[in-house]
Chain A
Amino acid sequence: MDLVQLQRQFVDYRTSLYHEGFLDEQFTQLQELQDENNPDFVVEVVSLFFEDSERLLNELARALEQQSIDYKRIDAHVHQLKGSSSSIGAQRVQKVCIAFRNYCEEQNVEGCLKCLQQVRHEYSLVKTKLESLFQVRLPCRREIFFLSKMVLP
Chain B
Amino acid sequence: MVMAASETKFHVLAVDDTLIDRKLIEKLLKTSSYQVTAVDSGTKALEFLGLNNNDHHDVEVNLIITDYCMPGMTGYDLLRKIKESSSFKDIPVVIMSSDNIPSRINRCLEDGAEEFFLKPVQLSDVNKLRPHLMKRRTQTNVNKRKAMDEIVSPDRTRARYNELEVK
Contact = CB atoms under 8 A, between A and B. Distances in A.
Interface of A: 26, 29-30, 32-33, 35, 37-38, 41, 44-45, 48-49, 52, 79-80, 82-84, 86-89
B98 interface: yes
Given A29-B122, A79-B98, 7 more contacts: A45-B23, A45-B24, A48-B19, A52-B18, A84-B21, A86-B120, A87-B24
B31 to A, nearest CB: 6
Interface string B23-53: 1100110110000000000000000000000
B62 to A, nearest CB: 22
B119 interface: yes
A87 B119 CA distance: 7
A29 B28 CA distance: 10
A79 B101 CA distance: 14
Shortest Cβ-Cβ A-B pairs, 4 listed: A83-B98, A48-B20, A87-B120, A84-B20
B107 to A, nearest CB: 19
Given A33-B28, A80-B18, A86 B119 contact: yes
B123 A83 contact: no
Contacts of B30: 37
B23 A33 contact: no
Contacts of B119: 83, 86-87
Nearest to A52: B20
B61 interface: no
B69 interface: yes
A33 B23 CA distance: 11
A44 B20 CA distance: 9
A38 B27 contact: yes
A132 to B, nearest CB: 21
